[in-house]
Amino acid sequence: MNNRNVHSHLINKSGLPIDSDTMQLMFLHCIASNKANESTISGLQELYYGCSENPLAGVKAVKLELDAKATAKVKLEKIQVYINKFTYNYTGMQFFPIDRSASLDKLRETAKLIIEASLPIKCLEATVLAIFLTQDQKEFKRFTISFSSEFDGQTFRHVVLGVYANGKYGALGLSRRSDLMYKPLEFPTLATLIHSYAVAYAGHYHRLVKVKLGLPIPHQPHLFETLPWKGIVVTRNLFRRPAEVKRVLDQYSRVIRGQIETVYLRHPNVRLPALSSSTSGGSSGDSLATRRTLNHFRKSSSVTTTGKRCMKRAGSDSVNRKQSKILTRLQCNNTDHILTPICEASKPVANSEYQIRI
């Protein structure tokens, strides 16, 4: 990476089996990152190049067996035990390249390759694997949770798969630290789940910079549909106000559970990646932050009411043409009330609020 303050690692793009040049880079990276164990790593390097046959051959793929009658909590625990069998990758090189903008179908093929190769994996690979393993478990509401933390001047990033089922929250994943990965399905609210990670980061002397929560991941995705990584981003300033964090996460958790399709946010430290920084009226097509966001959000008929914007997820059937006309009529009347497709009763919105329709 170009930024020296960001903790960097290598990514294998040579495929499997890994070629000798990529292995050489991995050994050099290990030695540079672990000067105290240079002799041990050099010994492993000599052992690897001294083998006449492929030293990685004969690896047996692990299997997952789930009882269809088991509870959601038991299923989640068994899936995590299965992921743990791959073990965490400490080499400094990610063996499987993951494209965050790839379709769910493409990521499924990557997950199959991870299972077939049975090599150690990092957090991003574990998250993709967890999505694949829970794809047929319709009782799970799944969403990504991405963390960004700072320690000793360096920025570290981490991601897990959040899961909701039977009124409880949990998570699947893999990490160097046991308290930054799997969370059993026993947290009553989304706020308590995120708080458990915040406490874990503090215990490892990391300062949590931001938490990014994705939108619900579909169990039956459309062709070329990508992962909705970006839902809301809670910045470090908001963590100083626990009551406000709880209010924001409790409201967003209703979106994850599918109870509402509209989120009202008042705090400036909650960023909405799909919106631009400008809140002026008009129908600018630049309200989408990046091209990747176009996969999940689309501006709805240039609707603006007193400085607020209404966004909807691309391809969503939650807002039909009739409702769009109602919103446009509200704009012309310059009213402070916005109707949602879930509740016909209008709800007043402050001027500083944003509204996202998913």
Catalytic residue among 30, 123, 149, 206: 123
In DSSP terms, 312 is beta-bridged to 298
Catalytic residue among 146, 148, 149, 175: 175
Told to judge if 30 belongs to the known catalytic residues of this protein, a careful annotator would answer: no
Residue 185 has φ and ψ, to the nearest 5°, of -80, 75
DSSP string for 136-194: T-TT-EEEEEEEEEEETTEEEEEEEEEEEETTEEEEE---SSGGGS-EEEEESSHHHHH
Report the interhelical angle of 123-133 vs 72-84 (nearest 10°).
140
User: Which residues are within 8 A (CB) of 350 and not within 5 positions of it... i.e. 6 or more apart?
Assistant: 266
Q: Residue for token digits 């509209």?
A: 262
The tokens describing 240, both together, are 């100083």
Catalytic residue among 30, 146, 158, 253: 158
Told to judge if 158 belongs to the known catalytic residues of this protein, a careful annotator would answer: yes
Q: How many residues does the chain have?
A: 358
Task: State how far the Cα of 163 lies from the Cα of 181, in Å rounded to an integer.
Answer: 12
Active site residues: 123, 158, 175
